[in-house]
Homo-oligomer: A and B are copies of this chain.
Amino acid sequence: MEKLINIISGLSTLIGNTEEEAKEQFNLFQLTSHQMHYLESIHLLDNPNITELALQLRLSKPTVKVAIDKLIEKEYVYKIRSDEDRRSAHLHLTEKGKLINQMHEYAHKRIAESILRKLNNDELETLEDLLTKVLVDK
């Protein structure tokens, strides 16, 4: 158990550091960590409305509204008014906003490359099988 925890701790650090490095390149795009979190949540919740986003982030609706207005002005987000309920509007990421996800993909790719460098084909296949088993639900 102790050994496994240490390995997970190392893995967590590796992933954390790689994502952090990837994020640094993105900070050049003038986004605060809060704003990044908004974009990530919009992606995660799959185009929520303001109310849903506020609930997820545990912030008041006006707070979220003001923050989203800024992200709309900076062209990371846009709104589409719902046809079913015309009071409501769904939030979408623009192409620029989607870069936030590409950032994560980039970090994951870099980790994959470092693994490929360290394992041979058999080892890679075994690792993939075991981790798949670990990640499967239930």
Does chain B have a CB within 8 A of A30?
Answer: no
Interface residues on A, range: 35 or more
Q: Are A135 and B10 in contact (CB under 8 A)?
A: yes
Copies in the complex: 2
Does chain B have a CB within 8 A of A59?
Answer: no
A15-B14 in contact given A3-B128, A4-B115, A133-B119 (Cβ < 8 Å): no
CB-based nearest B residue for A109: B5
Query: Which residues of B lie under 8 Å from residue A4 when comparing CB positions?
Result: 112, 115-116, 124, 128
- In the assembled complex, the Cα of A135 lies from the Cα of B3 at a distance in Å of 13
Within 8 A of B (CB), among A16-45: 19
> Which A residues are closer than 8 A to B by beta carbons?
1, 3-5, 7-12, 14-15, 19, 104-105, 107-109, 111-112, 114-116, 118-119, 123-124, 126-128, 130-136
